[in-house]
Every structure is written in C-alpha cells, then in structure tokens.
Amino acid sequence: MESNALPTPGIAEAARLWAIRASDPGFSDWDGFMLWLEESPAHLAAYETALAEADEAAELLASAPRPAWQPEPDAGYRPPRRRWLAGVAVAAAVAGVAGWGLIDRGHSPELIATAPGEHRTVELADGSRIILNGSTRITIDRDAPRHVELAQGEALFEVKHDEANPFLVVTGNTRLLDAGTVFNVVAEGGALDVEVAEGAVIYQPGAGQVRLDAGDGLSRARAGALPVLRKAAPQNVGGWRAGALYYDRAPLDRVAQDLTRNLGRTVKIEGRGFAPYTGALMLNGSAEDVLARAAPLLGVRFTAQGEGWVMSPANGPPR
C-alpha cells in the first residue's frame, strides 16, 4: 500500500545534505550514498524531492533581474548539475538492483552463446568488453548494454567505470555491481565463482553486500549457499584467455567443468576420494596432450567415453 506521507524532517534534511555533497566534484562516498538509499524507499523519494527543490531554486536564480555588471547567460543556459544528475542515476541503479532480475524485456535482448572450446569477445558501445569462454550464454540489450545477464558459463568483464551508470551482471538471483573493474565470473547451475583483477565488485549490493577488491575471490557451491571468501592472484584472473587454468584448493568437479569449456569436449567425473587441486593446468596442444599432462597433477585417470572423457581416481579400478 502506497503512502502519501511527506518525508520526516530528518530524512528530508539528510537528502538535502546528500544532494549538496554529491554536487561536489570531489565527492567519492558513493558506497555510503547507495547504502543510505537502500535503507528505505522514503530515502530515494526524499532525495528526488531535494533535487527538484534545487532545480526550482536554480531556475528562480536564472530568471531574477541581473545587475548591470553581470553578463547575461547564453540562451538555454541552466546551472550545472552534473554531480546531482550522477546521483539520480546512481539512485535509479540502486532501485533497479533491489528489484531487477532479468534484462529489461521492453527492449530487444540479444542472446550470445559460445560452443564448447570457443572464445568470443563482445565489444560494448561504452568501451567495455566481455570475453566469453566456451559453453557460455549471456543476454545483453544494445539499448542498455551495462546490464548483462550471465545464464551460464564463464566470462571475463573489462568494464569502463561510470559512477553515474554502474555496470550490473545478473546470474540467477545474484547481482554483481561493478565498482571500476576487471573481473571473472563462472556460473553453473547456481554455483558461482568470482575473481577480481582490478578495481572492485559488489556481491549482492544491499544491506548484506560483500565488497571484493583486486586480489579477492568468492565462491558459492550452489544457489542459496553461503559464499566463501578467498584470495586470488590478480595476474591469474581470466588466465584461460592465455591458455592456463589456476586453482587454489579447487574441487575436481570445478576442474572438470573448466576442461569441458576449454577443450570443447565433455569431461565427466566419476568416483570418490578426489583431493582438491592447487596449481596450474596448461591448455596448449591437443585435448589429449592437455589431459595427459593434467592426469598426474590431479591424481586421476582420463578414460575416453563417446565424444568425451571420464575422470576417475588414478588408484581406482581400471575401466
């Protein structure tokens, strides 16, 4: 039920203060501003009212009689509000983050998919890039390219930062908000892995958000599971582009998924007793070469099965 009540003086005053602060070219507390907006829908309404009041004051000032010594402004002149407008865009983005799931279907979304083993680079109009690994599907809207849906797979995002128009990645019910960044995302059936090479990413922006800075990683075993934080070497983030996979105590089902994406042929895992893997796997050469090198490092054997392979414990029964 909507309320027509006016904002309390405390909220209104806070909104005016945020508007004044955000109009300063040196303002940098966007995280604090976004948190304040998310505390209550009344905050966004009060902030928009403060902007409207500022507009009215500026128009009255522009229409007032001018002293003879003060030159007339150019036709169409309006007092600058670059930072206020940036604040409006951030507020709109925050409101969208709270309730936005898929791409805005009012536009014409475009599905971009890669086959197993295929890489593809998507250039966006703002200068950002999305590099897709194999077996990956994203949806973008060319009219709103800074909202991207990652349905499944792995993608490296090289984002041109814009405080007034944040870059948002949605995968399932999870939202990742750019804070000026290069980051890698893997999404498979509710499982999620994020690594940040530059800048920062906000995981699930809102009251319980988690900020990931350069060198941070986050893993989630399945949808609804608690995320686990870890460290990630920035220089290794998105290493698959250069033909290398890097791991820090990674479960072997994750390794099997990575091999499937990068080799273009299915790698399944069977059996128990697999130890997590820490180290690197090089992807140069044929798929058979890659697996021959990987087997002793992982402590497994690879057995051909149809068009792919089965990964099983090296000390298990022969297949």
Query: Given a cut of 80, is residue 82 above it in pLDDT?
Result: no
Q: What local confidence, expressed as pLDDT, does residue 164 receive?
A: 80
pLDDT average, residue stretch 177-196:
92
Same domain, 156 and 255: no
Question: Of the ranges 68-72, 117-121, 123-127, 162-166, which one carries the lowest mean pLDDT score?
Answer: 68-72
Same domain, 34 and 148: no
CATH number of the domain within which 305 lies: 3.55.50.30
List, for residues 116-139, the tens digit of each pLDDT value.
Answer: 999 999 999 888 999 999 999 999
CA nearest neighbour of 155 among 189, 181, 129: 129
Tokens representing 256 are 């099997």
Alpha-carbon span 220 to 263, nearest angstrom:
24
Alpha-carbon span 306 to 266, nearest angstrom:
9
* E runs forming strands in 142-241: 147-158, 168-171, 174-178, 182-188, 191-198, 200-203, 210-213, 216-220, 228-231
Q: Which of 187, 214, 236 is the last residue of a domain?
A: 236
Same domain, 275 and 163: no
Q: Report the SS3 class of residue 130.
A: strand
Could you list the residue range(s) of the whole structural domain that residue 21 is in?
Answer: 9-64+77-99
Q: Which of 206, 236, 266 is the last residue of a domain?
A: 236
Q: What local confidence, expressed as pLDDT, does residue 125 receive?
A: 85
Alpha-carbon span 147 to 141, nearest angstrom:
7
Q: Which of 236, 265, 282 is the last residue of a domain?
A: 236
Report the number of distinct structural domains present in the chain: 3
Same domain, 89 and 175: no
Question: Of the ranges 4-18, 191-205, 263-277, 301-315, which one carries the lowest mean pLDDT score?
Answer: 4-18
Domain contains 131: yes
Domain contains 3: no
Domain contains 318: no
Same domain, 35 and 54: yes
Same domain, 138 and 223: yes
Domain contains 34: yes
Same domain, 288 and 208: no
